[in-house]
């Protein structure tokens, strides 16, 4: 489980990322990211009803949380991330989601601008 300081929880934080953040699109997920002035990296997860019923959505969220827990984001401090699961994420294996997250974070290179 992520520490409380590393979680995005407020709706205004999510909406500001959707409106002003940069986007990286993968096969199973979409990642929005944005620099903040200070503080630790924060991350939030979104899985829409298009993915499936509550059991499937929660399973996808658990997989994504575990991936982020095992592979911490190595960019500088003070960044916000939202990982959005696409409908194909419900049938994707853990390893496929893991590759997708790693590829998007390394390809797009969400780095803290100094």
Band of pLDDT at residue 71, cut at 50, 70 and 90: confident
Q: Tell me which residue of 103, 110, 107 sits closest to 27, measured CA to CA.
A: 103
Mean pLDDT of 65-88: 86
Q: Output the pLDDT for position 26.
A: 92
Q: Could you tell me the fold of the domain covering 4-105?
A: Ribosomal Protein S5; domain 2 (3.30.230)
Q: Is 56 exposed, middle or buried (0-12, 13-18, 19+ CB in 10 A)?
A: middle
Domain ranges of the chain: 4-105
Q: What average pLDDT score do residues 99-112 get?
A: 73
Euclidean distance between CA atoms 7 and 4, whole angstroms: 5
pTM, entire model? 0.86
DSSP 51: S
Q: What is the pLDDT of residues 13-70, one digit of tens each?
A: 999 999 999 999 999 999 999 988 888 889 999 999 999 999 999 999 999 999 988 8
DSSP label of 49: T
């Amino acid at each position: 489980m992520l520490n409380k300081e590393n979680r995005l929880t407020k709706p205004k934080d999510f909406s500001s990322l959707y409106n002003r953040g940069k986007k990286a699109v993968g096969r199973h997920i979409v990642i929005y990211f944005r620099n903040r002035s200070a503080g630790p990296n924060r991350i939030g997860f979104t899985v829409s009803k298009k993915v499936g019923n509550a059991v499937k959505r929660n399973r996808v969220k658990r997989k994504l949380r575990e991936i982020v827990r095992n592979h911490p984001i190595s960019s500088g401090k003070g960044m916000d991330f939202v990982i959005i699961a696409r409908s194909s994420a419900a049938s994707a294996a853990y390893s496929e989601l893991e590759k997708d997250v790693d590829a998007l974070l390394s390809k797009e290179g969400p780095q803290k601008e100094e």
